[in-house]
Amino acid sequence: MKIGIMGTGYVGLVHGAVLAGNGFQVTCMDVDADKIKRLTDGITPLYEPGLDELLERGIREGTLSFTTSAKEVIQSSDVIFIAVGTPAKDDGSANLAYVHEVAQAIGKYANGYKVVVSKSTVPVGTNRTIARYLDGALKSRHAPFRLDVASNPEFLRQGKAVGDSRSPSRVVIGTESEQAKRMLQAVYETHIREDVPFLYTNLETAEMIKYASNSFLAVKISFVNELALLSEKVGADIGDIAAGMGLDERISPHFLQAGPGYGGSCFPKDTQALVDIGRRNGEELHIVRAAMTANEKQKSRMVAKIAEQLSFDGTLKGKTIAVWGLSFKPETDDIRDAPSYAVINGLLSRGAAVKAYCPQGMKQAQRQWTELNGLVTYCESEADCAQNADAIVLMTEWEQFREISWDILAKSMRGNAFFDLRNMFAEHPRVRRLFRYYPVGSSELAYTLEEAK
């Protein structure tokens, strides 16, 4: 069976590389000729642990290839995965322009029966619309074959995408065609053997599951973040609160970590899209909308908290702030809708000088946050970033930050404030001894014994 992947972003590239590793003949297509050339040469355009090795293996063994020709992929493939982006428009709705372009190409070039599978996150009803469009396109061509459409949403976590693709938590397949179902079962035969849970639904339900999953997690994050803000005011500790909540198996400890707000390519976009779907269908989704509002509040409160502790008047003029971490989570270079962007802008608006370091996110920041170029100083290391700074603001919990020589770093700074917006060092005695330590969700500050006396 030959497989075509339309789109070489995080989802398409990882999915294609893993399927090639499983022995399928996979061709990935993208309109970006420079990107395809680099991929053909084995150069990965994004950072994802384990992906480089998969690409190198697939290219070496001849199971993975790349092209800019939609016609080539469509006509040579038995199963075509649509894995293009669906970014949010200004009104929150999903931009389906790239999905429509792929559908039009399939309707134009299809030369026999194929299964068209949507991996892209699309609003409810999109795949039904694609199916009707393809049916009409084939009729206008008097084609003697049909195309089946299926929805197969991805549940990949960036930074762990390769492992999630190899061993998914579940596989959701939305289709009303038995033939399409059998072909996708063949594609995912490895998962079936490993007893991965499979759920078969109609198109609309599969589409909804993706939005429902991400929106629920976003609600959970916003809920604990609001509790964290309240905890700081009443003298409670959000770490212990989350631990106590998480012991209830109905709640679980997952996604109960307080922080500066959620970000990334999924949660912000998908919550906006789900609210838009509700609006278009006459159902206001109050809980999801509230989570979105709380998330924006969380980011602004982090900036206010920093300013309140570093100045008397709320301004940060003359202060230098070292920001550690730009990507929305560790083990990825993805900065889309990362909380760091809002926090950095907030610090700049209050007059601070901002230095930044991220193990993987700086190239993307310089490429995508062009309005910040010249305003933010990008540094070569976390130590370089902290030198002569009045405060450190930890935005992303990269593991390498644990290996720092704290005594040397503290001496290199002008001030000694440490705003740990991920509570990464809440149990780290040296950090709490050397710095005025400000976690999220706790009013307790760590001082040296001399200062306490």
Q: What pLDDT score was predicted for residue 452?
A: 41
- pLDDT for the residue 180: 97
Domain 2-201 CATH superfamily: NAD(P)-binding Rossmann-like Domain (3.40.50.720)
Residue 417 confidence (pLDDT) above 60: yes
447 pLDDT higher than 50: no
**Percent of the chain, pLDDT > 70?**
98
**pLDDT per residue as tens digits for the range 221-275:** 999 999 999 999 999 999 999 999 999 999 999 999 999 999 998 899 999 999 9
- Residue spans of the domains in the chain: they are 2-201, 211-292, 298-452
**Joined tokens for residue 47:** 């950072």
Torsion angle of the four alpha carbons 365, 368, 373, 378, in this order, in degrees rounded to the nearest 10: 10
Q: Do domains 2-201 and 298-452 have the same CATH topology?
A: yes
> How many Cβ atoms are within 10 Å of 173's Cβ, its own excluded?
20
Reading phi first (left if > 0) and then psi (alpha if -120 to 50, else beta), residue 92 is in: left
33 vs 444, residue with greater confidence: 33
Confidence of residue 446 (pLDDT cuts 50, 70, 90): very low
> How are the residues of the chain apportioned to helix, strand and coil, as percentages rounded to the nearest 5?
45, 15, 40
Its pTM stands at: 0.91
350-377 average pLDDT score = 96
Q: Does the pLDDT of residue 57 top 70, yes or no?
A: yes
What Å distances lie between residue 161 and 5, 37, 43, 157, 158, CA to CA? 16, 23, 18, 5, 5
DSSP assigned state of 231: H
Is pLDDT at 314 greater than 90 in this prediction?
no
How far, in Å, CA of 129 to CA of 155, rounded?
A: 23
Structure confidence at residue 445 as a pLDDT band (50, 70, 90): low
Give the CA-trace dihedral at 65, 121, 91, 229, to 10 degrees: -110
For residue range 319-333, list pLDDT tens digits in order.
999 999 999 999 999
* Beta bridge mates, 420: 394
Contact in structure between 329 and 257 (CB atoms under 8 Å): no
**160-217 pLDDT, tens digit each:** 999 999 999 999 999 999 999 999 999 999 999 999 999 999 999 999 999 999 999 9
pLDDT band at 45 (very low <50, low <70, confident <90, very high): confident
**Top-tier CATH class for 298-452:** alpha beta
Is residue 448 pLDDT above 90, yes or no?
A: no
Q: Are 152 and 184 in contact (CB under 8 A)?
A: yes
Please give the CATH superfamily to which domain 211-292 belongs. N-(1-d-carboxylethyl)-l-norvaline Dehydrogenase; domain 2 (1.10.1040.10)
Query: In the predicted model, what is the mean pLDDT of the chain?
Result: 94
pLDDT in tens, 267-276: 999 999 999 9
pLDDT at position 444 is 64
The position carrying tokens 């933010």 is 376
Q: Is 266 a catalytic residue?
A: yes
pLDDT above 70 (res 370): yes
Catalytic pick from 266, 358, 379, 385?
266
Please tell me the predicted confidence (pLDDT) of residue 453.
37
pLDDT at 337 exceeding the cut of 70: yes
- Three-state SS for 180? helix
Q: For position 92, what pLDDT does the model report?
A: 87
Q: Is there a contact between 348 and 375 (Cβ–Cβ < 8 Å)? A: yes
